[in-house]
Amino acid sequence: MSLFHQAAQAEAEAKVDSYKAWPMLYGRESAPSDDVTMTMGVEMQPTFTLTDSKSAASDKSEFSFQRLRWYMKGSITKDVDYLVVTEWARNGVTSAANGSARVFRASATFRDVFDMTNIQVGSMIVPFGHAFYVPAGIAPWVNYTRMTSQLYGCGSIGCTADGGEIVTNIFKTGVMAFNQINLGNDSSLTYTAGVYNSTGVKQQDEGDQKDFNGSLEFHKGSIWAHYGLRLGSAQINAGPELDRERHAFVLRYNDFAKDKWWAWGEVMTGKDEAPGGAADLKAKGYELSLGYKLTPKWEAVARYSEYDPNTSLSNNTFQETSLGLTQRLDRGIRLQYQADRIRNDSNTIEDNIFTVRVTVPFAKKIM
């Protein structure tokens, strides 16, 4: 090979962004095949939680499975990938009242449609912000902030507070187009645009309207900048469909999964149409996270968040502070310790939550 061709090949390789965006990881197989392929896996997250609340009646300690997930994924042909997930988990996906869930999800992805985009059909993880979208098995924390769970995870502002207990990604049924476009020089632009059944984590679909979720993510080197949009609706007690609007802004520096240290910030806003011509309900919040790998096996994480569920009222903001420690064991097993301190301006909430969680993944290529 001539020096000219070697230089041209090296330049072409330099233009390809080695980073793979989460929509590509969730929606596409990394090595498609003309033959039918299958990888089967299990992910378990046994968890012990101790909650010390201002109200003595709310104190509790318990052992539970935050997640017990079985999945299979693969390719049917080089143009079609599939994912099937069943999950038994302590969360609010299908049964918010008692915290249990029995979830079945399946989707198919048609790759490189018209050599332009990928189309995923079925029940899929909906992109909006990043904190709720990160793969649960490698998340640097054991729960989500009130801002993220209410403005991302719920159909309406003011949904039942989860106390940091919702731990699953948000699945919805619909169709989504997505792709990652390489821009050269270790940079890329990833887009998603999808229409999904309403409403929120409860998977209700009594109305005719569908949710639109879209996102744009720019990556260059150590920087990620992301914008997410949701335009949807909610129908309460067979009443009229009420508009829901959400915006998310994300800025990250360094890769939390690989780099020695990283910083992560998210801002979210929400607006809910109120019944009877009343003024719209507006909410906003932010969260900041910092992580530092003390050794290859140990990582410390700090997170702070504020969330105002009704910006028209004063003395209404929640403050959440979290300190976590993650120990990486062999075979992908992770042991996490986290302490959460939750307060609000009106001094009606004083919760201290202590959590120990083990993540145990198994996966094997069957065919």
Considering the domain boundaries, does residue 83 fall inside one?
Answer: no
Q: What is the Cα–Cα distance from 157 to 282, expressed in whole angstroms?
A: 8
Q: Report the C-alpha gap between 92 and 115 in whole angstroms.
A: 38
pLDDT the model gives residue 188: 95
**124 in a domain, yes or no?**
yes
Report the CATH number at residue 126.
2.40.160.10
Residue at 80 is within a domain? no
Domain assignment present for residue 166? The answer is: yes
Q: The pTM is what? A: 0.86
pLDDT in tens, 5-54: 444 444 445 556 688 898 998 888 877 778 899 999 999 888 888 888 87
Instruction: Tell me whether residue 296 is in a domain.
Output: yes
Domain that holds residue 256: 113-358
Is 42 a domain residue?
A: no
The answer to whether residue 204 scores a pLDDT higher than 50 is: no
pLDDT digits (tens, 9 = 90+) for 122-148: 988 888 899 888 888 888 998 888 898
* Residue where the block lists tokens 């679909």: 205
Q: Is residue 28 part of a domain?
A: no
Domain annotation covers residue 43:
no
Residue 262: closest CA among 228, 223, 226, 308: 223
Q: Any idea what the Cα angle at residue 201 is, between residues 66 and 195, rounded to 5°?
A: 130
| Of the candidates 153, 180, 221, the residue with the CA atom closest to the CA atom of residue 22 | 180
Count the domains in the chain. Answer: 1
Q: What angle do CA 164, 143, 351 make, to 5 degrees?
A: 35
